[in-house]
Structure 1
Amino acid sequence: MDLSLWMVVLLVGTGIVAGVINTLAGGGTNLTLPALMVMGLPADVANATNRVGVLMQCISGVSGFWRKGKLPVESAPPILVPTLIGGAFGAALASYLPEQWLKPTLLGSMIAMSLLIVLRPGTVVVEPGTEPRNLNESRKAWWTLVLAGFYGGFVQAGVGFILLAAIAGGLRYDLVRANALKMLCAGVFTLLALGIFIARDQVAWVPGIVLAVGAVIGAQLGVKVAISISPKAMKWILLALTIVASGFALVSG
């Protein structure tokens, strides 16, 4: 697929913005999917192609958090298990089920996250020094991670909010470490989903790689913002992004 200069600029620019948004919260796919479809890609191909940028963005973000010592590696394996289980089923069904079936989940998760931050900020934004919970202590968090994996494997858009609800809200990790674990989970089930889409020959590699360039840059910028600002400021950034992402999702729906 040949890309014009404006298409390259569109994909790189959208990738940068989405990379920042997805690293800090979620919902960046509400920008990248329409950008891919504007270029003429069918919805299923755009959905699959988008995962190239998401995967590279997750690798970039996770490496950034890890270098800064903000990735709790020892907590990752038990958290990855339920997201992988959900991701496998979601990706397998992505080519067969209508996308609009899960649209209410996207909107519901983002709107609920906004309300929680405003009305009960302590539910998602924990106090400094709070001891995280073991996943075995929260069955609700376990099933939320399965749901996040399933949704992420299916369509990706807004999955960061569901992951944050489970990791920050359910397991009580601070937002920086919750975002690091969120990026790791998203990267793992995206890799699984991408493998399925590649096997079904649904990936347009040229626009996918161009989008990935912008997404990697955006993820690195997002890591710097997440680590450098105060928890209070991060709360308001998260709130703003959830409102913006909800608006984009409503408009695109």
Structure 2
Amino acid sequence: MFNSIELYQAIVLIVIGLMAGVINTLAGGGSNLSLPALMMTGLPADVANATNRVAVLMQSITASRGFYQHDKIDSASIKDSFLPLFIGGLVGAITASYLNVELLKPLLLGTMIVVSLWVVFKSDTKIEGNDKRKSCYDSKFALLTTFAAGFYGGFIQAGVGFVLIATFVGVLNYDLLRANAMKVVATVIFTSIALLVFIVRDQIAWLPGILLAVGSIVGAQIGVKFAIEVKAKTLKIMVLVMTVFASIAAFIQ
């Protein structure tokens, strides 16, 4: 799918992509900016939801590389959560390709608010290394939660950063910085399969998707640098603040 856009729309998409890249790398909710920007170009909600994954995948790959270079991602964690995230993303994407994503709007709002509070009050930012981290296979609840995060990401994407942070911090006992790092890796996993589903279904508008991706790559690089340098307490506050703004943005759309 390919469509032409105006010059000002192209500029807006690049700028919004940059902002979304920073926000998604630091916490989540960037899609509450990018989805309306895509619909501004005339895309229907389902196509905008699919097209948004182009930028999400590129920013997540960029952020993953940045966190890996700073030794905040290890292969054991990726292998542990890969399968439930992948299968969840596949099922979610197939569901999204047939259903109206607006049906999830109330769930999105509730999820973001609850998760932000969970992260702020549950997370132990003093946890370092692998000593206290859990495997998603340690319990049925952990496995189901990881699968559900993948499903949600494959289905609607918007707000999935908060769901992933809750999974890695609240359920699997990651510290917030490493949870942020694994969050972008998880996004690469389920977005890759989701994007493939949307390509097969011919629901991608490539021009606006690529323009959005250009800005998001730069934004992800900025986000990683900031996340590595900022204090854990500040990062927790930023997650909460971003959640509030993302919830308001989702409500008024």
Give yes or no for contact 1:160–1:182 (8 Å, CA) kept in 2.
yes
Percent of pairs identical after alignment?
50
CA drift of 1:125 comes to: 4.2
The 1-side partners of 2:146 and 2:103 are apart by 19
Match of 1:6 among 5, 8, 18: 8
The 2-side partners of 1:141 and 1:161 are apart by 16
CA drift of 1:250 comes to: 1.0
| Contiguous gaps of at least 5 residues in structure 1 | none
Give yes or no for contact 2:50–2:198 (8 Å, CA) kept in 1.
yes
Give yes or no for contact 2:119–2:166 (8 Å, CA) kept in 1.
no
Give yes or no for contact 1:144–1:162 (8 Å, CA) kept in 2.
no
CA drift of 1:126 comes to: 3.3
CA displacement, residues 56-111 of structure 1 (integer Å, 9 cap, x when unaligned): 01100000001111112211112121111111111111122221332233112211
Give yes or no for contact 1:72–1:177 (8 Å, CA) kept in 2.
no
- Residue 86 of structure 2 aligns with an amino acid whose one-letter code is L
The 2-side partners of 1:151 and 1:116 are apart by 18
SS at match of 1:166: helix
The 2-side partners of 1:159 and 1:116 are apart by 15
SS at match of 1:137: coil
CA displacement, residues 177-211 of structure 1 (integer Å, 9 cap, x when unaligned): 11111111111111101111111111111111110
- Residue 48 of structure 1 aligns with an amino acid whose one-letter code is A
The 1-side partners of 2:111 and 2:26 are apart by 16
Question: Which residue matches 1:137?
Answer: 138
- Residue 46 of structure 1 aligns with an amino acid whose one-letter code is A
The 1-side partners of 2:68 and 2:190 are apart by 19
CA displacement, residues 108-155 of structure 1 (integer Å, 9 cap, x when unaligned): 22111233355xx2x134323362122222432221111111111111
Question: Which residue matches 2:75?
Answer: 73
Question: Which residue matches 2:55?
Answer: 53
Question: Which residue matches 1:93?
Answer: 95
Number of residue pairs the alignment of both structures matches: 249
Question: Which residue matches 1:22?
Answer: 24
Give yes or no for contact 1:62–1:183 (8 Å, CA) kept in 2.
yes
Which structure 2 residues correspond to residues 174-185 of structure 1 after superposition, within 5 A? 174-185=175-186
Structure 1 segments of 4 or more deviating over 4 A?
none
**2:224 is aligned with 1:223:** yes
- Residue 236 of structure 2 aligns with an amino acid whose one-letter code is K
* TM norm structure 1: 0.94
The 2-side partners of 1:149 and 1:229 are apart by 28
SS at match of 1:136: coil
The 2-side partners of 1:117 and 1:151 are apart by 18
| Contiguous gaps of at least 5 residues in structure 2 | none
Question: Which residue matches 1:124?
Answer: 123
The 2-side partners of 1:136 and 1:93 are apart by 25
Give yes or no for contact 2:18–2:216 (8 Å, CA) kept in 1.
yes
Give yes or no for contact 2:119–2:169 (8 Å, CA) kept in 1.
no
Match of 2:117 among 115, 124, 130: 115
Between stretches 72-81 and 221-230, larger displacement belongs to 72-81
The 2-side partners of 1:202 and 1:4 are apart by 21
The 1-side partners of 2:119 and 2:179 are apart by 15
- Residue 8 of structure 1 aligns with an amino acid whose one-letter code is A
* TM norm structure 2: 0.94
CA drift of 1:166 comes to: 0.6
User: What RMSD over aligned residues (CA atoms) do the two structures have, in Å?
Assistant: 1.4
The 1-side partners of 2:119 and 2:134 are apart by 20
